[in-house]
């Protein structure tokens, strides 16, 4: 182990904690002392006036309440023969502010020591979360050895060192990031869990939508799913697929996008660079396919492209910042080409979950790891990207009869 970390900025923990992580014992998932720690962390976030300005931080605080954690624990009735794998090394993505915290929480709940590389960008949310972690840790010396949050330059060589320590490595990022990190070897008994860039879509039944009295609630849920993270989260729908009769689809689309535009005009500030990227993506898509139609108004806050077909290349033409592909389907089976292994979340409104489940059972697409109602795509769960994080980050001891 290195004697110094001159190229590391410690946001939580220090050199002594980092050096001692390999000597720490693991523990059973959902230990009471971890649940109590996270609950205290949650309460401090709720009281922090700066945290209240960030919905993603408050969402984290809500999820870490003791009541919520015990509900999560109830999904695992027998953990007595499980223990954490050891040291979990988390590499967070650079474009989502709070992802590092969700990864850390999963690592703690599954019984591990956790060394977390936070985003290289200086998000305000990172500062708030680390501040409250440090505040709680001042009175919880029993937890101190189990978490260390760091920031360092990629070229420093520290990824090689930390990878050589870990029992599990969690890599969040695009294909290039994952490939680069994998050049740093891990011990032969260690595991890699990778969470690469993926895409998501929304399925809306137009006929059901038209019967709703409160259509603003649908727009509000969709806004939260997309604009809160500027569509940078893999969970954010980039394709909206309409089901129903031709007349209902046309009428529903008109209402839906008008309601969303009202919210976007009130809440969202479009950055110039994002506007340029959206227009550039449209030009590229139009030149490549020759069959797309701009369906939105002159406002660049909501940029919609109406597609005449879905195929395996459709989701390569996505963009962030309020850029939506739109397709009018006659049957749910028409979404199959975009449900490959890059497809993460299928959100729905007005479509029965049974109908979606029947589609998945019949066609067995390589993707679609999550099926959630509209407005809930950002909700974190310990079953993520096809992994059960509690089981993946812990090991099971078998006893012969």
Q: Is 370 in a helix, a strand, or coil?
A: strand
Picking from 121, 120, 150, the residue whose alpha carbon sits closest to that of residue 133 is 150
Judged on CB neighbours under 10 Å (0-12, 13-18, 19+), 34 is buried
Cα 266 from Cα 327, distance rounded (Å): 27
By percentage, how much of the chain surpasses pLDDT 70? 99
Q: How many helices (H) and strands (E) does the chain have?
A: 14, 17
pLDDT at 183 over 90: yes
Judged on CB neighbours under 10 Å (0-12, 13-18, 19+), 271 is exposed
Which tens digits make up the pLDDT trace of 123-163? 999 999 999 999 999 999 999 999 999 999 877 789 999 99
pLDDT at 55 over 60: yes
**Would you say 150 and 11 are in contact if contact means Cβ atoms under 8 Å apart?**
yes
Q: Is 325 in a helix, a strand, or coil?
A: strand
Residue 266 phi, psi dihedral angles, 5° rounding: -80, -35
**Would you say 90 and 115 are in contact if contact means Cβ atoms under 8 Å apart?**
yes
Q: What is the pTM of this model?
A: 0.92
Which tens digits make up the pLDDT trace of 223-281? 999 998 899 899 999 999 999 999 999 999 999 999 999 999 999 988 888 888 888 88
pLDDT at 320 over 80: yes
pLDDT at 337 over 70: yes
């Amino acid at each position: 182990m290195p004697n110094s970390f001159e190229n590391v900025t410690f946001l939580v923990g220090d050199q002594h904690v980092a050096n001692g992580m390999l000597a720490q014992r693991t523990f059973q998932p959902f230990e009471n002392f971890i649940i109590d720690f996270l609950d205290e962390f949650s309460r401090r976030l709720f009281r922090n006036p700066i945290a209240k300005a960030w919905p993603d931080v408050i969402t984290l605080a809500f999820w870490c309440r003791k009541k919520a954690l015990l509900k999560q624990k109830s999904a695992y009735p027998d953990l007595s023969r499980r223990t954490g794998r050891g040291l979990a090394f988390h590499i967070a993505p650079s474009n989502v502010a709070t992802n590092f915290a969700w990864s850390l929480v999963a690592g703690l709940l599954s019984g591990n020591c956790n060394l977390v590389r936070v985003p290289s960008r200086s998000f305000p949310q990172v500062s708030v979360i680390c501040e409250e972690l440090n505040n709680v840790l001042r009175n919880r010396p029993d937890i101190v050895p189990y978490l260390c949050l760091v920031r360092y330059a990629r070229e420093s060589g520290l990824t090689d060192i930390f990878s050589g320590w870990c029992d599990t490595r969690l890599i969040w990022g695009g294909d290039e990031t994952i490939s680069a990190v994998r050049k740093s070897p891990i011990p032969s008994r260690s595991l890699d869990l990778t969470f690469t860039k993926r895409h998501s879509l929304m399925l809306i039944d137009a006929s059901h939508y038209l019967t709703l009295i409160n259509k603003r609630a649908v727009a509000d849920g969709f806004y939260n799913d997309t604009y809160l993270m500027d569509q940078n989260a893999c969970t954010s729908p980039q394709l909206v697929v309409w089901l129903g009769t031709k007349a209902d689809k046309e009428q529903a689309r008109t209402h839906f996008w008008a309601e969303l535009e009202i919210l976007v005009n009130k809440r969202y500030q479009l950055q110039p660079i994002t506007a340029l990227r959206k227009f550039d993506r449209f030009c590229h898509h139009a030149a490549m396919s020759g069959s797309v139609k701009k369906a939105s108004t002159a406002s660049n806050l909501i940029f919609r492209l109406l597609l005449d077909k879905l195929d395996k290349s459709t989701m390569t033409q996505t963009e962030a910042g309020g850029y939506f592909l739109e397709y009018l389907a006659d049957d749910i089976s028409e979404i199959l080409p975009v449900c490959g292994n890059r497809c993460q979340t299928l959100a729905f409104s007005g479509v029965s979950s049974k109908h979606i489940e029947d589609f998945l059972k019949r066609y067995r697409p390589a993707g679609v790891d999550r099926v959630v109602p509209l407005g809930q795509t950002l909700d974190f769960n310990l079953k993520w990207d096809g992994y059960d994080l509690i089981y993946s980050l812990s090991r099971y001891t078998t006893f012969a009869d």
